[in-house]
Copies of this chain bind each other. A is one copy, B any other.
Amino acid sequence: MKQQVEGWSNSGTALSRQFKFRDFAEAIGFMMSAAVIAEKLNHHPEWTNTYNKVEVTLTTHDKEGLSDLDFELAKAMNELFAIRKN
């Protein structure tokens, strides 16, 4: 059975989620907080920003699939999002 993270879809090889914010400034602030955490984990998202939306895909290229780091980063992004009243 595939491991799930709340709000994320798990394709088997990637986790993906869209985050939606009040506006561009909030979306960028979220990305910058997440960037700081991603670099600390040495695991980086593929993500697309369009105004107030951030679409994230997480995968582990070395494994051509999912690793613990994908789940850890997904949860960290959820936490960053959860402390906002979006």
Across-interface contacts of A32 in B (CB, < 8 A): 28-29, 31-33, 35
A57 to chain B, nearest CB (A): 9
A25 to chain B, nearest CB (A): 4
Across-interface contacts of A13 in B (CB, < 8 A): none
Chain A positions 29-62 with a Cβ under 8 Å from a chain B Cβ? 29-40, 42, 44-51
Binding site for B on A (CB under 8 A): 22, 24-26, 28-40, 42, 44-51, 80, 83-86
Top 10 closest A-B pairs, CB basis? Answer: A29-B33, A32-B32, A29-B29, A48-B48, A25-B36, A25-B33, A36-B39, A46-B50, A28-B35, A29-B32
